[in-house]
A and B are shown apart, each in its own frame.
Chain A
């Protein structure tokens, strides 16, 4: 066995313990490190193969530890043996083979390890370092694990034999924001000659890209590049040849890289084909700009303005600042339904065509798929949130208008106008054949004016039932009673004014009450059925004979100018974005912006949305106990979980599950949306909690069970994540849990991360202890599998908690 060690002893440097000093392992009583972290060796059939590496074990306690050993986890096909080495020259200590060692307080022991295999192997070996009393070292991927290939074909066996850094502490320390730092790597091929790809790779947290550009060159003995640095090299590696490389890390500007040695690293990978032959790595850190926005406020803004905070979103908000991020969002237009709106078919299109024709054209399904895909992935999060709020105020539903292109057309109008003007939204709604079909304006005739849309225009889309003060509180008469915002006569007058509209005319046709259902562009006027008499709407006179088009304009203007609109719309937008019980002074400030954006414009949604998010009530560091809080509705709850964990999804998973929670977008049971804005929280003494209307005995269970399935039980390939075979482009849902597993190798750090990006840092010590205790009992023979399932369990416990389900 000493023989085997001596084979690499000559070429290994002594830079091993420096890796440990960078604080890679924080939990556990021991720290350990292995170098190199990848080996490839050959095996003859029936024979035994050995791969040797160096290791260092450090006692992190202030007590001496004895009877320390190294072993493989139960069930591993590999065996490991060890020998003590002299730290100075890596030479083996005679007679120390497999001899237990002791560690002084804060002391260390240098070892060489020999892994033996009796068969081919391709995987991660994770030896267990343990001393008496149960002291052990956490498994950290790439720090104390070995990527081992044992193959019958003689492989190239590259050993990364040295890393050189200015501080010699195993950390690439970039001095300035956006600065650059080089790292030298030496490697030797002690196996067969082969062509080797050398690639620097950034390892960075949870599914995000390391914010640095990595390049590599081969260098000469003086350290100079032999050619310009590139993203990867392909080199012919002869047997026993030593080559040196320089890796350059160029940090992105505007963002810092926090030192987190297990999770934020630069790895140089030596690949033979797809096989990892060797790897050497170092932690990386870089200073960022000094963030003006703290983590907690960034998280709150992400809750208010996106479909769920992610580590990337929070970092972006901190980088841009609150106002900068909002203003950037106001420019984005990534999401679209325009292509779906363009798929115009006639009402008998699917006759004789088998399923899924009906699903794709006569249901909201394609639109709903797109909605969820956009919500999880598209950058224009704020636009989507506002459009989603509008779709729940100005409701149309698949229940009555089932054609997909129609619903897509309507919702594209809301997306387009999310940062436009509320007057244009009201007019778009009034002229829309989708709304016209939904609430019967289409074919409303002078002799029988339809009251449906007129009533909801006043009650739900514009004014509300009672007269409001600018702060959203009701105006009371001298007996303390509310006063109606409009009269029954107003409903009748609006109904008369909105007579004489038919479906849009198709090319080559004339407007007609017999026109088939058709939703491209606006409704067409049909003068013969318009009531041409004079009307009085909300006190505004509409002269006789001005025609359907002018009457519609007048109605929209009369509603839009009514003083109720500003508080009525502003308060609901606040409820959708920020909090369920906005204090009246908050509503008043937003109403004032709605009345006048500062440039004399009324109804400027861009200004209103901006003001809602920048208001002190939204940005206060600690929410007011009495008025704060907003229960995530089913859409926001499920999208936020998928975004948190970094899922890739086509949206189908949501549609398989969310109806049990009572909120399928674009399928409201009625024009009154899924929940009323004034739903009273039971026992809340006047508190409103709109989405509480969807919480009941059953849905409390359904919410839990869905979150359980998607996290704790979130293995790829589960039934509701599979793609939909007959839907073009369907990819299903996948979650890469590897980064979470890497994080969970230090359970404390996993909880720190989750607390910071999911819970506004309000995990209590008791909760933290209970979660850690539960993770301790979630074990698996494979430490990497164990880390992933522990990560999923921790995430499950976080996302099912009230802290996560209710925004502060």
Chain B
């Protein structure tokens, strides 16, 4: 859209025809392709480890590097591992609890920030809501650890889920806030209240249903954040709470085993699914 108005101006530049113009065009093409090639190379760097991991999760050899044949045995041994199933269940439970909490808090906070009268220090509050994104995870981890033990809060399932909810809060707030801001222009809530609805009725019957895609996509990001979180969990998970990333960490410390590849590949597939659903939802709200 932005580019359109500039197009005619470009035409004003003197056009050189013939062979000279053709070579100029060609060199410009090559230049853009050079940038494209560079970017593809960078993507190659980002995906190399992921590709290697997926490839070797199907490798028959115990020693990782030599390819000895295609096998599913690492996946099989993964799925028959009771400890692994327990870790998976714990991780899912924590992620569900954390994302529900983060979505509920995010919805309330976003509603208050967009619908209620501006209060003093609102900009600062918005920055504070985003602070968990900026804070290096190690600071969160050791901070929570020292604070919990100082006030005597037990390190258990719920304290971990609540901490995850805070780390995920910027994602839900951000996604829901953007949606509520765009809904504000449509004045649908004002119309409902003009027709006699109370604020609560307008919230229940207008705002909430219309904000639902944003709530779901925010909650999905929150779920992924909680599911993948290692550093914070590493510091504050009590004894006996083993989430998937913690399990992967201890397997890695123990030594190189192909099961880790299989496990990591499964986690990668989960991430891709979550991100794809999220993108689809975001697109839906935009159209």
- A and B associate: no
Could you list which residues of chain B lie within 8 angstroms of chain A, going by C-beta atoms? none
